[in-house]
Each structure stands twice: as C-alpha cells, then as structure tokens.
Structure 1
C-alpha cells in the first residue's frame, strides 16, 4: 500500500514479555491512505481505557457508516493483522481498539469474536484478545487442506470449462500481480481470495467456495514471495485458456505445494 494515515486514539494492554513485533513481518509499505473516520457514539458503559499504554496504530480502510460499523472494523482488524500492526502474542482490549477506530467497544468485540472463530486471535478472559502465533506445522497443515479442497476441483474444471470462460478471470489475476508489486499485503490477501473464489465459482458449488474462502482467510502472508505467488495465478490462467492440461498440473503443484494432481 502507499502512505499511511492512522486513526488516532489510545489502545490496548500487551501481555508482559510479549514480542514487540512479529518475526515474519513483511518489508515495505503495508497500508493505504485512509479518509477521516467519523466517530460513532459510545454504546458501551463502564469500560475505561485512560490508563492503557499506546498500542500499534490501526487504520480503518474506508469510511465507517453506522449500518456497517462491524464489517468496517473487521476489515480494519484483518488488515492490521496481515501487516503485523497487531503482533502475534500480544493482547489487545476491545475498548482500547475501539478508541482507535472511533467506535464503541461493542463492534470491535464482535469483530474479534469472528476472528477468534477463524483462528486469528484467541479470547483472554477479562483482558481481551491475543493474536495467534501460528507454528510452521500449522501453516503446512493448512496448505495441505487447501490443496485437498481446491486442486481436484480446478483439475476437473480444466477438463470441462470452455477456454473462453477463463479469459474473464484475467482482471482478477492481474489485480493480485499489481497488489504484489506494490507490496500491499492486505490488498494482496483480498485479491488472492477474490481470484480463487472466481476460479472455484465456476464449479457452481457455493458451499465449496465458502469453505475454501474461510481456509484462505487463515493464510499468513508474512515472508511469502507475493510476486511469485501472483505470477502463478497468471500462469495458471494461461494454461487453462490454452487447455494445456500438463501445464495446469505443473502450475497447481507449484502453487499449492508438493501435493499430487492428476488431470
């Protein structure tokens, strides 16, 4: 992302001994310029944050509207997690993050509960939410599950979908490449999920698309070669459009890891 305009305020407690920043934090710009966020009237009472030390600066992407406060906060938190602004192992309170977003603690708490269901954070009773630090084994297992879900479907679609239909996915693939070249992790995560949703959507199986989308939300992009990953999207489309099944198999194997594919 280009330049950063942060949302002011105060933020959350970090647990003693917590790491200051994630080891895998990606280099380069990670946030977009953000318009001023209007304050939403405080809805929760009896929660105090005046004694809390400064927290990582979290930015909302887009203008918050009353009808979509929770969704905007959830998007902002996801972007902060991807960029490393919310660090693995650190504990953040809903009231403190609410001050930074200019909203009450309630939509922040609801968004954090959703992130907890996705495995991105865990609830710390009476304190807030701790950002999950995923192990190398967990990430490997996640990659394997994604491959087991997606590769057979894409392999089948390569045989059955008319080449002309794949050309409509070219803009989505090019968007991942643009985000990767910009070093914008949050934008890349959104573009990657959109591309894979479009590919799997050709199966007509909405449940499959939802399951795969949920799995992709759990991906940790820090340390990943984004440009190389995006280039594989373009290469996959090239192979699909030309109906080159051998090239499709090779590209899928490279994109999802050493999992066998058969077309």
Structure 2
C-alpha cells in the first residue's frame, strides 16, 4: 500500500481515507484478498484510529471490504457469478432510468450537465481505446454518475454508482493481466450521450443492452 501521509486533512478525514483506499483498490494496488488492520491504515496516513475505522466500515458497507474477525479488514474478492449478478442488476435499473429519461426528459437545469457528461464521454472513449485503465475508470465512473443523475433521483444514482464500483473492483485484476486490455473495454459513451440528447428511445435501448451484453460476453471468457 502506498501512503499519503500528511496529505489527508482532518476536516474530511473519514471521507478522504475512504476515497484514498477506494482508489487503491480500483487501481489494483490493493488486490482482492489483501488484509490490513485499522492500526496499519492509521499509521500509513498518520491519523488516529477512529476516522480510519469509520472509513473502513463505510467501505465494507459499500461491498468493497469484508470485516475479518480478530484480523481487521480484507478487500473483497468477487466471483464471476457475482459479476454477472451485478450486470443483471445494472441492466434492470439502467433500462428503467433511460426509458424515463427519453420519455419524460431530463431533470430541470440539465443542459449544462449534459455538456459535462459529453466531455466525460470523450475522455472515457480515448482512455478505453488507448487501454489506459486507471484513467478510464475515473472518467467512466463520473460519466455514468452524471448521466444517471440527469433523471433527478439521487437514490438510483447512488445505487448504480455502487454497483459500477463493484464491477470495476472485480474487473481490474483480470484487465491488468490481459495482454491487450483495450479490446475488452467498452467505449461507446459518446454514442449513448447522443442518443439520450436526441431522445431516441430505440437507440438508447440498443446501446444500453449492447453495453451490458459486452460485460457478460467478457465474463464468459474468464
């Protein structure tokens, strides 16, 4: 684990520690099955145990960590079946949210946010095609969070974000070992934004289904 030391400030300590550890997991530097204690993380970030324990409990609640009795915490190791279940849940929610976006339109004040979503889409596409996994993950997570946020339901947005993070936690170790990771990465973010902008329900449905099928097809190769 690489430490951040004094870079973590006390006013948002719990969230910053949780964010830093989540980034370590998503970058593959904390591998599935890795174990650590509250004391180790507190020493790494040079902070007290209380915000560290709170941050680790938060990450466990999000499904990234598991509590190991008398030993601390462990990065959760998802199975291929877990991943398929994540995609199935994602598929059901996405189908409903994009149908709502097309039929009812985006939430008020979404025009500027669409500009931001389109920018995220372009960056995600470039990262996917170049195989820049760590860059792609950051833009992909922001892209989907902002796009689903256009529906104006924060509960759905947060649920989808959690599933997407879990999907990446499963995927990263496999993609890092792949000889050509770019061939396994989805890069149609921009096409989806175009379809949503044009309220083209059939095209939105086609892209979203192809996106989920892409994940299932990739899982079948593992």
| TM norm structure 2 | 0.77
Query: What is the root-mean-square deviation of aligned Cα atoms in Å?
Result: 2.9
1:170 maps to which residue? 118
SS in 2 for 1:67: coil
User: Equivalent residue for 1:255?
Assistant: 211
* Large movers: runs of 4+ above 6 Å: none
| Structure 1 CA distance for aligned equivalents of residues 39 and 126 of structure 2 | 36
Q: Distance in 2 between matches of 1:250 and 1:200?
A: 17
Which of 14, 21, 27 lines up with 1:77 in the alignment?
Answer: 21
**1:62-211 aligned within 5 A:** 63-161=7-105, 165=111, 167-168=114-115, 169-180=117-128, 181=130, 183-185=132-134, 187-211=135-159
Q: Deviations over 1:120-157 (max 9, x none)?
A: 11111221112211110011001100111122211331
Q: Pick the structure with more helix per residue.
A: 2
Cα distance, 1:85 vs structure 2: 1.8
Say which is worse superposed, 133-142 or 96-105, in terms of deviation.
Answer: 96-105
Per the TM alignment, residue 113 of structure 1 is displaced from its structure 2 partner at its CA by: 0.9
Q: Determine which structure has more spread, i.e. the larger CA radius of gyration.
A: 1
Q: Given that residues 177 and 231 in structure 1 are in contact (C-alpha distance below 8 angstroms), is that contact kept between their aligned partners in structure 2?
A: yes
Give the number of equivalent residue pairs. 201
Deviations 1:189-208 (A, max 9, x none): 34223222222222222222
